[in-house]
Amino acid sequence: MVQLLPDDRLFVLTGAGVSAESGLATFRGSGGLWNGHRLDQVATPEAWAADPLLVWRFYSMRRRDAAAAAPNAGHLALVRLEEQMGSRFYLCTQNVDDLHERAGSHRVHHMHGSLFQSRCVRCEEPFYDDGGYELVDDLPLCAICGAAVRPHIVWFGEVPLDMERIYAELDRATVLLVAGTSGSVYPAAGFVQVAHQRGIRTIYAGPEEPLNADVFDEVLLGTATEILPTIDVRGA
């Protein structure tokens, strides 16, 4: 049982592990393959330039998988914490699925983009899109300028979204809770060092130690659905 103090300000960082019990595969847990694809074939700007159809097939499959999945008790536990803490709660996720929102979370920032958004490579404006693009003739084009439309996903080699806001939130948090992420992808893996330097409480939740485990004050071993529901705000 983990207790937060009534005036704590909580920054939560989630990764693929939080959606694992909803049936969505983590990347590193599946032998370095995402449903049979190597990262550099589907999740880099170079992959997009080389084979947009393959990239769209991959993200179309992930859209299907995510749409068929349901939020789990880990997602719901974070909704409860947000209800208890209000604006003192901030959720930053590396996940591109929408399970946090479908569970009922409101203050969610998708630092690696969103599976159900696309954007024109020229206009750059993201828009809702749950389409499946599996054939050359299906590949979407911008309705305004006719340029190619890509998934609104931050690929390897690209800068995560709104880092300024993230660091501002990290700067005023009193507790950092990290759940279900391997600690191998930066800048997210570096948030704990930032928190540690500020001297705030840092907690990790997941079934195995992340790569940066030594920087955390508390490492709680167990799955998201086991650990997250045990976190409470004192007196709430």
Least spacing, CB of residue 69 vs ligand APR, in Å: 13
Active-site entry in 75, 110, 112, 152: 112
- DSSP for 132-182 reads ---SGGG--B-TTT--BEEEEE--TTSPPTTHHHHHHHHHH-SEEEEES--
Site for ligand APR in 96-135 (CB under 6 A): 112
**Contact region for ligand APR (CB under 6 A) — 2-10, 18-26, 78-86, 159-167?**
18-26
* 71 touches ligand APR by CB under 6 A: no
Closest CB 110 distance from ligand APR, rounded Å? 10
Which parts of 25-44 interact with ligand APR (CB under 6 A)? Answer: 26-29
Q: Phi and psi dihedrals of 131, rounded to 5?
A: -70, 155
CB of 29 to ligand APR, least distance (A): 5
Residue with tokens 């954007």: 119
112 is catalytic: yes
Instruction: Name the CA dihedral angle for 194, 196, 202, 204, rounded to a multiple of 10 degrees.
Output: 70
Is 192 a binding residue for ligand APR by CB under 6 A? The answer is no
- Displacement of CA 15 from its chain's centroid (Å): 5
Measured between alpha carbons, how far apart are the two ends of the chain, in Å?
14
The size of the chain, in residues, is 236
Binding residues (CB under 6 A) for ligand APR: these are 15-18, 20-21, 26-29, 94, 112, 180-182, 184-185, 206-208, 210, 223-224
Point out the residues that are catalytic. 112
